């Protein structure tokens, strides 16, 4: 087995690294949060004090970081980054959600150092990462894709090779545009139903029986906000960040995306009203709060109530 470096042990990164450890991999971990480092050690990870220490031990270095600037700094910084001490034969796999321009830049920097690079952003939620059921959208050449597939099979259940470097990142933005925008549309629709005085189950009966249905409403929402659970699997703050990436990438590609821009503004409003740390399905509560409505919830005996 190859030794694995894992940089970025947040809500998604820590369970992914833990699943690799459970599968028998030696995982060398680094995060700026001591709390997350302590959890990684408890789960069997080897702690490193610096990025360079991770690189010194690992054959494949994985990054799971919050934004484009962090990815650039951690990977390409010539003083403290991965590429400052990388060696021939190593491979860097970034699993963060970042701008396409960031992925393209990092991929070129790795190529200049004769180091393999893979972009493999993650689909689904933190609960799926916990269970090893994440979905991966991979941008890589065939050789590198084959090399990282055993790792992805441990961390997830669905792996899609979307094309060469950059294809994974771009696919993630397309996916997240739809998934996040559905939350705003669902929030408006169910708030309108509440204003009309409609019963929730009967409304869902109709929506689930027509082309109005979407995965957020049918699969995610009954288990989350419609059951009163606003604990973050994916926060409104992160959803806003991803919509910003979508709008910026579209502008760069000279594409008009008015729905994405409108959704981003709705999430901006949610953050301004103090909902940023809640699950993105809480857009329902945001919209009801805005219009002084009681947010609809499933009856405990509802057929749509999970479990």
**Residue 133 and residue 124 in contact, taking contact as beta carbons nearer than 8 Å:** yes
Tokens of 199: 């019963």
**Residue 48 and residue 80 in contact, taking contact as beta carbons nearer than 8 Å:** no
Tokens of 216: 């957020």
What's the CA gap between 75 and 140, in Å, rounded? 17
Q: Which of the following is catalytic: 172, 218, 241, 305? A: 172
Active site residue 224: no
* Residues involved in catalysis: 172
């Amino acid at each position: 087995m190859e030794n694995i470096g894992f940089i970025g042990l947040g809500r998604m990164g820590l369970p992914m690294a833990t699943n690799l450890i459970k599968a028998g991999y030696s995982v060398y971990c680094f995060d700026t949060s001591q709390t997350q480092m302590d959890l990684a050690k408890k789960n069997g990870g080897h702690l490193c004090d610096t990025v360079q220490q991770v690189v010194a031990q690992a054959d494949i270095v994985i990054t799971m970081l919050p934004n484009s600037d962090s990815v650039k700094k951690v990977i390409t910084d010539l003083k403290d980054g991965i590429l400052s001490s990388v060696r021939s034969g190593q491979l860097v796999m970034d699993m963060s959600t970042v701008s396409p321009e960031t992925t393209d830049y990092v991929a070129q920097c790795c190529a200049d150092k004769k180091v393999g690079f893979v972009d493999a952003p993650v689909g689904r939620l933190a609960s799926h990462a916990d269970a090893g059921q994440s979905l991966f959208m991979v941008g890589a050449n065939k050789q590198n894709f084959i090399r990282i597939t055993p790792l992805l099979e441990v961390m997830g259940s669905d792996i899609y090779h979307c094309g060469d470097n950059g294809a994974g990142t771009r696919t993630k933005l397309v996916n997240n545009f739809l998934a996040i925008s559905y939350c705003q549309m669902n929030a408006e629709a169910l708030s309108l139903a509440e204003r009309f005085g409609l019963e929730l189950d009967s409304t869902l009966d109709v929506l689930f029986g027509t082309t109005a249905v979407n995965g957020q409403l049918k699969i995610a929402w009954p288990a989350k906000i419609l059951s009163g659970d606003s604990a973050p699997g994916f926060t409104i703050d992160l959803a806003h960040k991803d919509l910003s990436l979508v709008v910026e990438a579209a502008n760069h590609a000279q594409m008009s995306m008015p729905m994405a821009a409108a959704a981003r503004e709705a999430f901006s409003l949610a953050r301004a009203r103090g909902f940023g740390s809640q699950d993105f399905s809480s857009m329902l509560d945001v919209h009801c709060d805005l219009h002084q409505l009681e947010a609809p919830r499933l009856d405990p005996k509802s057929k749509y109530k999970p479990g």
